[in-house]
Each structure stands twice: as structure tokens, then as C-alpha cells.
Amino acid sequence: MLKITRISAAFLSLFTILNLLNFFLISISFIFFALLIFVYILILIYGSFYINSNFYIKTICSKPNNNKEIAITFDDGPVKEISPLILDLLKEFEIKAAFFCIGKQIAQNKEILERINMEGHIVGNHSYSHSNYFDFFSSKKMSEELLKTEDVIYQTIGKKVKFFRPPYGVTNPALKKAVDKMKYTAIGWSLRSLDTKNKNYKNILAKVKRKLSSGDIILFHDLNPEIIKVLRSFFEYALSNNYKFVRLDKFLNTDAYENQ
């Protein structure tokens, strides 16, 4: 498992050794130093964008098991036109899900969040703005966003969340500081539907069916109207193949809210 502290220590050690060799024994070309820095930067980028790497933040992305248990999650809602339809479908199939909600979306759709809670699903923090520039925010500004979302969730359903999913799945040192400050459990995924990029119902469905395995945390979104058709077919497929949908907190055997 990659860790920023280990990689940085290894890079510093190797860089120091090369400098000592260059100074005392042999002349080392600048190209070797440039290449070392380039590789280090590539690793940092990989660690930032690949949430499963646990590079900056310990993130739960799956829970391997032999019971064909899986957990389903939704990001970026609640959305007035789509989230209620998802809830209808979940109710029909008697499946409980986790909704990682954007604060500004909650502020506009509090009644949907209330329904999510009333129907036995759980809620997580997904930032307030989900800004394209969120990953460039200072740790202080990130913390303010997380707190603002936490507050609007608490004001709506009276629960203080413990689960957090990074916007875009990107992590960095500033976010680690904010997550640690808020004492959140960071949640990733092991199966990503890519339903915000691929708008074709058949392609989305084929992907999740092909890659589904026991222990998956599956990521969908409340954004694509095609998701309703995808979900119905996916639920039918998974259940017919003896998969069991388990609510995320029970799946991970940890509380989704404080003081439960």
C-alpha cells in the first residue's frame, strides 16, 4: 500500500544518496535527478486521483467477503427529478442504500433528505459545493464546507454524520487535515458505474454486471435519468445471482452517525 510518508522518505533518501555520490565519487547527470523528481510527481498524482490507494487518507473502498454481500451508494444528490425515483425503486426491491449528499442540494431539497432518512437509508457528507476547484481549497475552507453540510444534514434529520466521500474521489494533504479534524470515516468504492460520463443505459449496465463481485461498494449518482433503467436491471441481475444488498453501515459494521 502506497503512503505519502513512505514515498517521501524513500524519495528523500534516494535523492540524498545521489547527491553524495555526485559530490564525492562520480559525476551524475542532471537527467537522473530530473527523472527521479518526475517519478515522484507521478506517484503523488496517482495517489491523489486513485482513491483506493489510501495514499493520503485511509479510505474504505470494499469489504471482501464470501457471502456475496454488496453495498450500494449514491453521490451528488438529492436531485428533485431523479432521487425520488431512485427511492421508489429501492423501496420496491427492499434495498437500503447510502446517499452521499451535497450540502447545497440538500438546502434545495430538504424533503427528499427527510424521505431518505425516513425510509431507512443512511446519509453521508459529500461537501457543500462539490466545486470543480474543491481540491485546490485550503484545509480551512474544506473544513468549513464539510461543517456547513454537516449542519444542514443535522438541521434536516437530526443526525450527525460520520461518513464522508471526497468529491471526485480525489484526496490530498489538505483534505486529510480536514477529514481528521472532523473525525470522519472516508468512504470510497470498488465498483464505479461511471454513469456521469457514460450516458448509455446498456453500456453502464454491462459494466457493473461484468465487474460485480462479493464485497463491492458500488458507486452510482442521482444525476443521470437513465440510472432508473440501469438500477432496475442491475437489481434484478444481482438478486437473481444471489447477491445480498446490505446497508453500508451494517456492511462495514460501523456507525453512520454519532451517538447511535
Same domain, 26 and 87: no
pLDDT score recorded for residue 2: 57
Same domain, 231 and 119: yes
For the chain, the average pLDDT equals 93
Same domain, 142 and 26: no
Q: What is the mean pLDDT of residues 155-177?
A: 97
Q: Which residues of 220-236 are buried (b: 16+ CB within 10 A; e: fewer)?
A: bbbbbebbeebbebbbe
Number of domains in the chain: 2
pLDDT of 153 > 70? The answer is: yes
Residue 185 lies in a domain: yes
Instruction: Report residue 168 as a C-alpha cell.
Output: 471526485
pLDDT score recorded for residue 260: 61
pLDDT score recorded for residue 20: 79
CB 228 within 8 A of CB 86: yes
pLDDT score recorded for residue 40: 82
What confidence tier does 29 reach under pLDDT thresholds 50, 70, 90?
Answer: confident
CB count within 10 Å of CB 81 equals 9
CATH code of residue 216: 3.20.20.370
Residue 161 lies in a domain: yes
CB 187 within 8 A of CB 60: yes
pLDDT of 169 > 80? The answer is: yes
Same domain, 75 and 195: yes
Residues serving a catalytic function are 75, 221
pLDDT of 211 > 60? The answer is: yes
Residue 258 lies in a domain: no
Same domain, 150 and 40: no
Residue 119 lies in a domain: yes
3-state secondary structure of 241: coil
Amino acid sitting at position 66:
N
pLDDT score recorded for residue 44: 86
Q: What region does 215 belong to: left with phi over 0, alpha with psi -120 to 50, or beta? A: left
Q: Rounded to a whole number, what is the distance in angstroms from the first to the last CA of the chain?
A: 32
Phi, psi dihedral angles at 73 (to 5 degrees)? -135, 155
Q: What is the mean pLDDT of residues 74-78?
A: 98
Residue 68's Cβ-count burial label (10 Å; 0-12, 13-18, 19+) is middle
Percent of the chain with pLDDT over 70: 98
Same domain, 212 and 143: yes
What confidence tier does 19 reach under pLDDT thresholds 50, 70, 90?
Answer: confident
Same domain, 112 and 231: yes
Structural domain of 74: 59-252
pLDDT score recorded for residue 254: 97
Residue 29 lies in a domain: yes
Same domain, 200 and 165: yes
Range with the poorest average pLDDT among 37-41, 78-82, 160-164: 37-41
Same domain, 143 and 243: yes
Residue 203 lies in a domain: yes
- In tens, the pLDDT along 101-130 reads 999 999 999 999 999 999 999 999 999 999
What confidence tier does 61 reach under pLDDT thresholds 50, 70, 90?
Answer: very high
Secondary structure (H, E, C), 205-231: HHHHHHHCCCCEEEEEECCCCCHHHHH
The rounded Cα 62 to chain-centroid distance in angstroms is 11
pLDDT score recorded for residue 27: 78
Residue 238 lies in a domain: yes
Same domain, 18 and 144: no
Angle at 160 between CA 252 and CA 142, to 5 degrees: 90
Same domain, 127 and 247: yes
Same domain, 129 and 203: yes
pLDDT score recorded for residue 154: 98
CB 115 within 8 A of CB 90: no
Phi, psi dihedral angles at 29 (to 5 degrees)? -60, 145
Q: What is the mean pLDDT of residues 13-37?
A: 78
Residue 259 lies in a domain: no
